[in-house]
Amino acid sequence: MDELLEQFLIEGRELTEQANDDLLALERDPTSSSNIDSAFRAVHTLKGSTALFDFAPMTEALHAAEDLLGSLRAKQLLADRTIVSVLLECIAASERWIDCIERTERLPVGAAAQASALRQALLAPLKREDQQTSTPPPDLEWLAPLLAREGQSMAAARGAGRTITALRYVPNSDCFFRGDDPVALVRSVPELLAFRVTPREPWMKEGYDPFACNVVIEALSAASPDDLRRIFRLVPDQVVVIEVGNRIGQFAPNGDVSLMDKSLESGLRTLRVEASRIDTLVDVAGELIVAQNTLAHLAAKARQSDPALAHAMAANHADFERLVANMRSAVMRLRTVPLSTTFRRFPRLVREIADKLGKDVEFVVSGQDVEADKSIVDGLFEPLLHVVRNALDHGIESSAARRSAGKPTTGKVMLQASREAEQIVVTVTDDGAGIDLSAIRKAAEARGLMPEPVLNALQDSAATDLIFAPGISTATQVTDISGRGVGMDAVRTAVELLGGRVDIVSGIGSGTTIRMTLPQTVFVTAVMTVRVGQELYGVPLDVVAETARIPIDRINAIRSGEAFVLRDRTIPLVRLSSILDISTPERSGADVKVLVVSYGNQRVALEVDAFVDRAEVLMRPMAGLLSGMPGVLGTALLGDGRVLIILDVSELIG
Amino acid sequence: MSVRVEADIAYLAGECRVEDAEPLLGFLQSGSSRVVDLTQATHLHTAVLQLLLAFRPHVVGPASDTFVQRWLIPQMTDT
């Protein structure tokens, strides 16, 4: 793909996100001029970039959006819900177009018709307004040439991160009679960066009137707009004061001076790097860990033949280990992004869905600053969307139902994130009706998941867990929003693919919380290595609840299986050798070694021949022909060059 | 009086006010190759400044006043 187009896709997404955020904020506070300005700049810049390509319909639609935002900016219109909605629609369409451009490098069929409909909708409020008032928008044509001309004068102030304020002062021609001296006013402007006086009408030497003021004054200052307004408070009708941010003066490709998005400017200094380059670095850092493990292995070997050398190697290894750990965390941070990149897409979606359902919902987002690996943050979107949809559709009741249940008529859905040790926890909580367990039991029975007596004997938490079984839906009617058979099992699968797990807590009448626990990084997997027969296997540590030795006489045969009681809990026992089809001698010792693993809400013990080690390994997913191999998560290279197979425990038992 | 004329040269001194514009106009219109000395001027009223911009006499500086020197004289020498 063309580099310019790639850049457009990246920036386009950033700009639509920015516009989205601003518009949603504007809906909460229709008078917020900073949000209007920011949305205007985003749309303006996006429009400018589309013009570089053959995306004319998109340019047109955005142009209309820019016009509409322009009149909000000029305070000719108030940003009411209708106006914000149509602007949001335009941004949503732009997002879809950008997605399509990424796939096909062109706009979708029908974009032109869509754009012209959008255009009409966007311009409709302007027409309505035309008939009412006739205040011209403030003319800002002068600003671009001024900024272009004075780029150098602004450099130092920009470098110091100062705001720059532009001023245009067109004194009335009779101002001298009123005692005004425009130059004296400019003289009192602090931190003047540029000052230029030009004639308003061409100079006439013949019949020159010394008492008619004929100048236009343009100036830049590092003082704040408010300071300038204070100075010119007696001539407010003759001045335009505008804050131009601190990195103005960059030329957009169309020769326009772009009013750079302040949120991009004032943030951290960033460097955009292609993801594949970072992945290369991640790979190298991963290999380094393997190399470090090799060193540990060698040191252990040397201990027998040359203890002094082994000692030196061990000391060296410690240094090496520390440096590798530092490098690892630095590399991991490279791929880390805040959850806000996914979370910020939700407020608008929630608004759309709630509107469609005719429900009144307050949506609260928190913890969007929590960071995780980009693949996890991106991968969370689909499952989260599903869960949020469910909360809105099935969770939150209609206003009438809520009123009769004695709840506030406005439902509440919360999307929260937090860090817990090495993991992130993302929860979606609604204060809706909760999950109807009898409906779940019925659905499970209808699907033949379990016989009725078993279902009825299930504890409530286990029954709630059934919602994750394939094909279970409690939706009484299929709506446009959800309930189309893509159930919570898809959510569980998606989250597990990311290395996480999903839990659910629900109370009838009080609502439902879906809790997703995910690793922060996908880089290194901590595994427990165990021996079965002569072979080594890895079990991800995050599923290992504990290791234990169980006396043989405490193991009871239950039908075809075995189980034992551990701290008042019956835990089924599975021999790893029989699942993996490895022949091992009969049990000989007084006890067996087991790995107690959590599997959904349950615990299962895996019998192994020996616990070998705990190690951090770089896990590679199975590729090619092996990718379909059941029960295997991936492989890792051990320090001594052997390949460790990492088991997918839930797949093996389930 | 802050405008003092000696032959072809007008010396502007101190704070030049709006009422200085008319005599200065007379001076500038009374012949070509007029010279205006700003070394002693501490402020130019807009009426005076725009007159100098319109007639573009030869300007003598530098002005002792920093604002006049830094911001006003360059206006007149700008092309």
Task: Please name which of A401, A414, A410, A391 lies closest in space to residue A483, comparing C-alpha atoms.
Answer: A391
Q: How confident is the model at residue A253 (pLDDT cuts 50, 70, 90)?
A: very low
By the CB < 8 Å criterion, does A181 face chain B?
A: yes
Q: Please, which pLDDT band fits residue A246 given cuts at 50, 70 and 90?
A: very low
How far is Cα A617 from Cα A522, in angstroms, rounded to an integer?
Answer: 11
What's the burial of A182, exposed, middle or buried (CB within 10 Å: 0-12/13-18/19+)? buried
pLDDT in tens, A344-391: 888 888 988 888 888 889 999 999 889 888 878 888 988 999 899 889
The Cα-based distances of A505 to A264, A483, A609, B27 in angstroms read 39, 20, 37, 92
**To the nearest whole percent, how much of chain A has pLDDT over 70?**
87
State residue A88's pLDDT score. Answer: 92
CB contact under 8 A, B53 and A181: no
Q: Which of A175, A208, A218 to probe the B interface (max B CBs under 10 A)?
A: A208
DSSP A363: E
- How do strand A423-430 and strand A411-420 relate by DSSP bridges? antiparallel
Give the one of A181, A203, A213 whose C-beta lies nearest to B53's C-beta.
A203
**CB pair distance less than 8 Å for B45 and A184:** yes
B1-58: per-residue pLDDT in tens? 478 888 888 999 889 988 889 899 999 888 878 899 999 999 999 999 999 999 888 8
pLDDT at A134 over 50: no
**What whole-number distance in Å separates Cα of residue A250 and Cα of residue A259?**
8
Complex confidence, ipTM: 0.93
> Measured between CA atoms, how close is B20 to chain A, in angstroms?
10
CA distance A151 to A149: 6
Cβ <8 Å between A211 and B21: yes
pLDDT tens per residue, range A455-467: 777 777 787 877 8
Instruction: Grade residue A472 by pLDDT with cuts at 50, 70 and 90.
Output: low
Chains A, B: CB contacts under 8 A, how many? 61
Task: State the best of B38, B50, B67, B79 to mutate against chain A, taking most chain A CBs within 10 Å.
Answer: B50
A571 touches A563 (CB < 8 A): yes
In angstroms, what separates the C-alpha of A160 from chain B's closest C-alpha? 22
Residue B51 CB contacts under 8 Å (≥ 6 apart), including other chains: A208, A210, B21, B24, B25, B28
Nearest chain A CA: its distance from B71 CA (Å): 7
CB-based contact (8 Å) between A202 and chain B?
no
Higher pLDDT, A624 or A570: A570
Residues near A266 by beta carbon (within 8 Å), at least 6 away in sequence = A246
Would the pLDDT of A273 be above 80? no
How confident is residue A257, by pLDDT bands cut at 50, 70 and 90? very low
At A473-524, the pLDDT tens digits run 655 444 444 444 457 888 887 887 777 888 888 888 888 999 999 888 765 6
